[in-house]
């Protein structure tokens, strides 16, 4: 099989060891992960040379940096791995940045919980202050094709969109907008409300 074959490979001992190491590394980056599925891509020969062609990840009910995420589906670009350390029983270390592409889905209750944590409360308050001139944020709900914010007993219906790589909320009907602060390592390419969840599609650069 050629080194650049990116189809999933049968689980050999080294692949199984690497999958276990990656699962542990991912869980270490998160506060909580209810379920996690990994699929490794590449050839055994490439892996022995320290190159994994990519990883497909599906995770459910993740808490990352105090942010509740209902579901994540990601596919990484090639990853440089130190297989020798794994074979010696050492923990997996990822030493080089790599790119990922995919989407994350958020529920209304999950977003409301996240924006009530100390980590994100300031953003939630800035959001309703920018759109409604009120604070603090009381709750956030998803109703059909709208994100509904509440503050001081008042409601504000908004529509999400991706603008210049970040998430922007626009009120209806008066068209006030609030653009959430961006992360230079994350680019949001599409934002929509589907299946009762906010779905964000895009790319990110992971720097271990």
| Unique residue bearing structure tokens 């029983």 | 89
Mean pLDDT calculated for residue range 180-188: 93
pLDDT band, residue 173 (cuts 50/70/90): confident
Q: What are phi and psi of 207, to 5 degrees?
A: -115, 100
The pLDDT, as a whole number, for residue 9 is 42
Structure tokens at 48: 């022995």
**pLDDT tens for residues 89-133?**
777 777 789 999 999 999 999 999 999 999 999 999 999 999 999
The pLDDT, as a whole number, for residue 118 is 96
**Residue 200 clears pLDDT 60, i.e. is over it:** yes
The pLDDT, as a whole number, for residue 141 is 96
pTM of the model: 0.87
Handedness of CA 10, 105, 117, 175 (dihedral sign): positive
- The C-alpha atoms of residue 115 and residue 126 are separated, in whole angstroms, by 11
The pLDDT, as a whole number, for residue 1 is 33
Percentage of the chain modeled with pLDDT above 90: 70
Structure tokens at 40: 């490794």
**pLDDT tens for residues 6-47?**
334 444 777 888 888 899 989 999 999 999 999 999 887 788
Q: Is 102 left (phi over 0), alpha (psi -120 to 50) or beta?
A: left
């Amino acid at each position: 099989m050629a080194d650049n074959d990116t189809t999933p490979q049968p689980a050999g001992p080294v692949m199984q060891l690497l999958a276990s190491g990656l699962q542990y590394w991912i869980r270490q980056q998160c506060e909580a992960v209810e379920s996690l599925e990994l699929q490794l891509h590449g050839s055994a020969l490439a892996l022995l040379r320290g190159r994994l062609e990519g990883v497909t990840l599906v995770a459910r009910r993740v808490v990352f940096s105090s942010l509740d995420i209902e579901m994540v589906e990601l596919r990484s670009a090639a990853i440089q791995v130190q297989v020798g350390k794994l074979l010696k029983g050492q923990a997996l270390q990822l030493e080089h940045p790599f790119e990922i592409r995919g989407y994350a889905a958020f529920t209304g209750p999950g977003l409301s919980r996240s924006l009530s944590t100390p980590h994100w409360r300031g953003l939630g308050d800035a959001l309703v202050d920018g759109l409604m001139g009120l604070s603090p944020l009381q709750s956030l709900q998803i109703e059909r094709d709208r994100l509904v914010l509440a503050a001081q007993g008042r409601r504000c219906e908004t529509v999400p969109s991706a603008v210049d790589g970040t998430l922007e909320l626009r009120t209806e009907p008066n068209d006030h907008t609030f653009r959430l602060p961006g992360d230079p390592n994350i680019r949001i390419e599409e934002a929509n409300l589907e299946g009762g969840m906010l779905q964000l599609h895009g790319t990110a650069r992971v720097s271990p």
